[in-house]
Chains A and B, each alone.
Chain A
């Protein structure tokens, strides 16, 4: 049990893939310009990371190490294409916005590093928990960035939620200002807000030991 709580703490905070390991920055920076896209990509990442970790930790019992990279990439790519097709079938409008980055998750180093470091040497349950926790670690950072960038950049929150929730999501939009700080929605804003988040984390919790 103690082991699992360490895995959880590592994934969500201590070894957070986005804030500490700085892995998988491409989707993190590109998709976090609104809440709904950040949230959706976060969910896809959590799912793919957990499922692929489980599958890889089963397969590692049969295959030797020389073939591990091939199998990891195959499993990851399959999971991603499946989620890509699912998005196209059920959330087409959303896929229009984040589709490119779903395909890019396969090159997301945080996934490959989890496959290599955790699931290729650990039993199924702890790999699954590791995938879930690392995914959640990525998830909360991308959602926080999405909230900050949308809130300060465009002055709204939860806009375009109908892409995810159907017609019911249309009423969720909150507007606090019509004049946002535009820079935050543009690509430089992604780098700035991530930089400030990392700086804040290091300032408040100086845990570089």
Chain B
């Protein structure tokens, strides 16, 4: 009986040490990967060759080019999509115009609603250069809402519109 208990204790201990040890070794690499992954999509939407990102908090960065302020990039979330939350990163140029938008996380229907993802279609790029004055929630605006994916595209358009309106105030 003693042997049994001892072996079980030893086994769980070894497993614990293995997992903790491996995680400790790899932790920095994983953190770095996570940061790179979100920075990658932020960098794509800034639409500028040279810039630095100055973090204000985890969901907001200031874009600078040699100490000159050239815009802000921030995260926004929409809950009115078809399936769970849609997380977007929006970059503005400081005068109320959009530098670029990316959807970084969504669970919209594959093949229908996922056209908001840049890897599927460049629908999201039509917001570049727009400002809330373009009022794209209005029926005859320049922004295409896609038939079949009405809920998804309207959710994204509204999220961008609202976020920008608040941002510009």
Given contacts A64-B4, A186-B109, contact A89 B26 (CB under 8 A): yes
Given contacts A62-B3, A63-B8, A70-B8, contact A89 B29 (CB under 8 A): yes
| Most chain A CB atoms below 10 A, which of B3, B19, B36 | B19
11 A/B residue pairs, CB under 8 Å, sorted by A: A74-B12, A78-B15, A82-B18, A82-B19, A82-B22, A85-B19, A85-B26, A92-B30, A92-B37, A93-B37, A186-B110
A93-B36 Cα distance, complex, nearest whole Å: 10
Task: A82-B19, A85-B19, A182-B111 are known; give 10 further A-B pairs, CB within 8 A.
Answer: A59-B7, A62-B4, A63-B8, A85-B22, A88-B26, A89-B26, A89-B30, A89-B33, A93-B37, A186-B109
- What DSSP secondary structure best describes chain A's contact surface? helix
Closest-CB distance, B112 to chain A (whole angstroms): 7
Given contacts A67-B4, A85-B23, A85-B30, contact A185 B111 (CB under 8 A): yes
Classify chain A's interface size.
Answer: 20 to 34
Is B34's beta carbon under 8 Å from chain A? yes
Classify chain B's interface size.
Answer: 20 to 34
Is A26's beta carbon under 8 Å from chain B? no
Closest-CB distance, A53 to chain B (whole angstroms): 16
Is A127's beta carbon under 8 Å from chain B? no
Do residues A185 and B37 form an inter-chain contact, with CB atoms below 8 A?
A: no
| Complex A-B, nearest 6 residue pairs according to Cβ-Cβ distance, in ascending order | A92-B33, A78-B15, A89-B26, A182-B111, A89-B29, A88-B30
Is B54's beta carbon under 8 Å from chain A? no
Given contacts A63-B4, A81-B19, A85-B26, contact A186 B111 (CB under 8 A): yes
